[in-house]
Amino acid sequence: MNDRDIHSVVATLRDAARAWTLPYVTDLAQRARDPFRVLISTMLSLRTKDAVTAEASKKLFARATTPRAMLKLKQSEIEKAIYPVGFYRAKARNILLTCQELIRQHNGTVPDEMHALIALPGVGRKTANLVITQGFGKPGICVDTHVHRITNRWGYVKTNMPEQTEMALRAKLPGEYWIAINDLLVALGQNICHPTSPKCSLCPVRAQCARIGVTRSR
User: How far is 168 from 171, CA to CA, in rounded Å?
Assistant: 5
Of the residues 126, 138, 172, 199, only one is catalytic, namely: 126
Domain ranges (residues) in the chain: 5-21+141-208, 34-136
Report the topology of domain 5-21+141-208.
Endonuclease Iii, domain 2 (1.10.1670)
CATH homologous superfamily of 34-136: Hypothetical protein; domain 2 (1.10.340.30)
3-state secondary structure of 26: helix
Is the pTM of the predicted complex or chain greater than 0.85? yes
Helix H or strand E encompassing 194: none
Our answer to whether residue 80 is catalytic in this structure is no
Residue 125 has pLDDT above 90, yes or no: yes
Our answer to whether residue 112 is catalytic in this structure is no
Compute CA 40 distance to the chain's CA centroid, rounded to the nearest angstrom: 12
Of the residues 34, 50, 144, 183, only one is catalytic, namely: 144
| Interior/surface letters 127-144, b for 16+ CB within 10 angstroms, e for the rest | bbbbbbbbbbeeebbbbb
pLDDT tens string 13-62: 999 999 988 889 999 998 888 999 999 999 999 989 999 999 999 999 99
**pLDDT more than 70, % of the chain:** 100
